[in-house]
Chain A
Amino acid sequence: AQSVTQPDIHITVSEGASLELRCNYSYGATPYLFWYVQSPGQGLQLLLKYFSGDTLVQGIKGFEAEFKRSQSSFNLRKPSVHWSDAAEYFCAVGHNAGNNRKLIWGLGTSLAVNP
């Protein structure tokens, strides 16, 4: 069955530290991969996406993610976390950019940032 796993339910990092949020997927076809962020009381905002090409993608707010087909992973990274990065992060997988309704979502990782 198709699925997305975000192994870490909650992560706490210190401000200025590096961050990596894990995302693993199980998908039968070439995936389209997304990371969204949701701040408290806010809607979801797209951080970055991978469709094809360079497996290292750059996103907004200094985030990047690397697609590793051999590991079925699309981990999100940031070299230096800011307090404003505290939020819920969702990884999502689809098989067609046009079929957004078919996105499969992870359960999310809640990020807390210590001052």
Chain B
Amino acid sequence: DTGVSQDPRHKITKRGQNVTFRCDPISEHNRLYWYRQTLGQGPEFLTYFQNEAQLEKSRLLSDRFSAERPKGSFSTLEIQRTEQGDSAMYLCASSLQGALANTGELFFGEGSRLTVL
């Protein structure tokens, strides 16, 4: 069994460029979350999906950020016109939510670290 996988693990880009991160959740998990984590901080919620539907977006998610989960499986997080303040670790997590499977546990990937020069 594979856990949550994220790609790429590291991305260095110049300010103004677009970047895209991919997350493959645990296959039977219906919920997928994106978080951002900066040094010395806990994870900050960005957005989450229930299957293919994006149910909530944080105010942290500016218009330059877009996330998709087109078939309810993998998800992508795109950042357009990157800024230095976007430098962070972007974490993906998945969970199985349902009447009999509501354990509240998030399974995290190893993260994608973004450095904007």
Q: Are A101 and B42 in touch, CB under 8 angstroms?
A: no
Please measure, in the bound complex, the distance between the C-alpha atom of A101 and the C-alpha atom of B94, giving whole angstroms: 11
Q: Are A90 and B110 in touch, CB under 8 angstroms?
A: no
Q: Are B42 and A98 in touch, CB under 8 angstroms?
A: no
B93: chain A residues at CB < 8 Å are 43-44, 100
Q: Which residue of B lies closest to A33 (CB)?
A: B104
Size bracket, chain A contacts: 20 to 34
Which applies to chain B's interface (DSSP): helix, strand, loop or mixed? loop
Size bracket, chain B contacts: 20 to 34
Q: Are B41 and A103 in touch, CB under 8 angstroms?
A: no
Instruction: Scan B82-117; emit 1 where CB is below 8 A from any A CB, else 0.
Output: 000000000101010100001111111111000000
Task: Give the contacting residue for B42; candidates A9, A32, A46, A108; CB below 8 A.
Answer: A108
Q: Are B111 and A43 in touch, CB under 8 angstroms?
A: yes
B33: chain A residues at CB < 8 Å are 100-101
- B31 at interface by CB-CB < 8 Å: yes
Task: Give the contacting residue for A108; candidates B40, B91, B97, B103; CB below 8 A.
Answer: B40
Best-surrounded residue of A9, A32, A44, A103 (most CB of chain B within 10 A): A44
Q: Are A98 and B97 in touch, CB under 8 angstroms?
A: yes
- B67 at interface by CB-CB < 8 Å: no
Q: Are A100 and B31 in touch, CB under 8 angstroms?
A: yes
Top-5 shortest CB links A-B: A105-B42, A97-B104, A43-B108, A44-B108, A43-B110
